[in-house]
Amino acid sequence: MRFTSLDEIEEHAASIKNYIAQSIEIEKSGKEIEFTKLDELEIPSELTEIFQQDTELQIAFESLTPGRQKAYLMFF
């Protein structure tokens, strides 16, 4: 959530309180998010083909941080 004024916060106060209550319950339950590691993601064949045609793109992609690479792979 992003707010730019106090009025917006007050307008959405019930929803905000609900989200906070849900977050507290999730935290108390001990649930954890299972993150996918970069090496567990498969590079789509279309992207591999493009890398073969454009090595500069592959170099640029590989120079990204692992988190940014993962985000792109998840998006593709």
Q: Are 67 and 37 spatial neighbours (Cβ–Cβ below 8 Å)?
A: no
Q: How far is CA 26 from CA 12, 21, 23, 29, 30, in A?
A: 21, 9, 5, 5, 7
50, 57 Cβ separation under 8 angstroms: yes
The answer, yes or no, to whether residue 64 has pLDDT greater than 90, is: yes
pLDDT for res 6: 95
Dump pLDDT digits (tens) for 4-59: 999 999 999 999 999 999 999 999 999 888 888 888 888 899 999 999 999 999 99
